[in-house]
Amino acid sequence: MKEFVEYVAKCIVDNPDNVEVEEKLVEEKKLVLALRVHANDIGKVIGKGGKTAQAIRTILTAIAAKEGKRAILEIVD
């Protein structure tokens, strides 16, 4: 799941070298991923009205559900 978020973010942003994904909280069935990007790329990751971020979260939820887990994506400034 971490690799998926990293791949999608690197495809969207202008500065792919500054993309970092960190697993913050890992429990048995819950995973929190923190996505950090360059300050100029935050708008691209969030998208207009948050639609891009919501799309990434939707796919991430589906991937996590296949594994019987719950995943949460946080976009960090």
Q: For 15-60, how does the pLDDT look when each residue is reduced to its tens digit (9 = 90+)? A: 999 999 999 877 888 999 999 999 999 999 999 999 999 999 999 9
- 28 DSSP 8-state letter: S
Domains and CATH numbers, the chain: 2-76 (3.30.300.20)
**67 residue type, one letter:** E
Question: What's the pTM?
Answer: 0.89
Q: Is the pLDDT of residue 62 over 80?
A: yes
Kindly report the number of other CB atoms within 10 A of residue 13's CB atom. 19
Bridging pattern class, strands 70-76 and 30-36: parallel
